[in-house]
Structure 1
Amino acid sequence: MAKPGKQGGRHYTEAEVRAILERALRDAQAREIGHDELVAAAEEIGIPRAAIEAASRDIELVRGEEAARAAIVARRRKGFRSHLFSFLVVNAFLFAVNALTPGPWWFFWPLLGWGLGIAFHARAALSSEVSPRQIRREIERNAERARREERRRLKEQRRAERLERKERLERSAEELGHAVEEGMATVLSRIAQEIRGSVPPPPPPAGDAGRRQRIAPLDVDDAEPEALDEEDAQGAARGPAMRRRG
């Protein structure tokens, strides 16, 4: 409770309190006041929370009745405008038919009969009086519409959640499959490397092919002494032959 100041000795009647609150609300109409703020403000001036809750329920009920009454009146007037448009169009067509064809004037008979009906419709549509039964039915209809909308919203929300869970599961399964494939590829690569490292090289083939294969890897430096030996052998063979000729 706020401490009383210089103006703490002032007192107001109930009508003055109501007028002060209404003026304060008009000054603060730029923003909406929440329910908790309203309760806190009421407790500051000594109004219990239960009274505020009951008053707020009554205000909500009155607001719902006013909205229902406005919806009923708007629906009535919309129906009357549609009825009046049909009345004017059809009777203008009948007048044109009667004026363009020979014979007596007869179009005013349907005009008169239909005119009486639209006059009664105008009396009901332009009136702002709505019975409590109609208001109650409108409130129940609005409540049922709100429940259907809420069920539809919850259904859409559950469907979206199911789709999101399904997408997450599919992404998880795909990631798991990629991880398993990479792991298997790594394991198989290691096994293949171990197998290649443990197998000894094949033995060289036997016979002439083996000798050729053993001789083949000789370098050029190894082949040069072999060529020199062949030249020495040829020179030694030519020496006796030349001595015989001499």
Structure 2
Amino acid sequence: MPDFYNEEQVQQILQKAIARKGARQDLTREQVREIASDLGISDADFAIAEQEWLAQSVQDRERVVFDTYRKKKFRDHAIKYALVNAFLIGINLLTSGNISWAIYPLLGWGLAVALDAWATYQTDSAEYEKQFQQWSRQQKRSLIATQITDKVTAKLEEWLKPQ
């Protein structure tokens, strides 16, 4: 057994020890702070790390919502593609007995659907990050607009309420 461990090794060992503990027991914030203190981590460093972790947790949840939104948009696009092209192929088969002109929208739109699928499931790019930031700003604006609308509506209802 080595006498010293680097930070990464300590993290891995503690994660494995907690996992082996079996029964999932949540720790209070104070217990976690005490563990950090026992490891020589100052209260200030612990507070900063906790804030960073909370911010990252919020962003991770937002990314899950964003990914779900993107996948739903792609699914809707793929369904429209399938329905419209099935209709076009049906018309083509009924009118000429074979698939002639319907192949062109099928292939052209199919390329667009394939590119959309690639963009939807590619999450390690600068474009993904740009779209996420744009979506995040839009969500925040929508939330603020909703809050303002609710407050204005409440005030108007209060003023217009018969006495």
Q: Tell me if both proteins adopt one fold, taking TM over 0.5 as the criterion.
A: yes
- C-alpha distance in structure 2 between counterparts of 1:68 and 1:20, whole Å: 30
Contact kept, 8 Å, 1:68 with 1:138, in 2: the verdict is no
- Measured after TM superposition, the shift of residue 124 of structure 1 is 0.7
Pairs within 5 Å for 1:1-246:
12-13=4-5, 14-26=7-19, 27=21, 30-102=24-96, 105-129=100-124, 131=126, 132-141=129-138
Identical aligned residues as a percent: 27
Larger Rg: 1
Deviations 1:59-116 (A, max 9, x none): 2232233223332222222111111111111111111111111487221122122122
- C-alpha distance in structure 1 between counterparts of 2:82 and 2:114, whole Å: 13
Q: Superposition RMSD on alpha carbons, in Å?
A: 3.5
- Measured after TM superposition, the shift of residue 29 of structure 1 is 6.8
- C-alpha distance in structure 2 between counterparts of 1:94 and 1:63, whole Å: 47
Letter in 2 for 1:33: L
Distance 1:28 1:65, change over 3 A: farther
Distance 1:70 1:18, change over 3 A: same
- C-alpha distance in structure 2 between counterparts of 1:32 and 1:148, whole Å: 37
Letter in 2 for 1:120: L
- Measured after TM superposition, the shift of residue 148 of structure 1 is 7.5
Number of matched residues?
147
Equivalent in the alignment of 1:231:
none
Equivalent in the alignment of 2:161:
none
- C-alpha distance in structure 1 between counterparts of 2:27 and 2:136, whole Å: 25
Distance 1:130 1:33, change over 3 A: farther
Letter in 2 for 1:69: R
Distance 1:130 1:66, change over 3 A: farther
Distance 1:48 1:139, change over 3 A: farther
Distance 1:120 1:19, change over 3 A: closer
Structure 1: stretches of 5+ with no match in the other structure: 1-9, 159-246
Structure 2: stretches of 5+ with no match in the other structure: 155-163
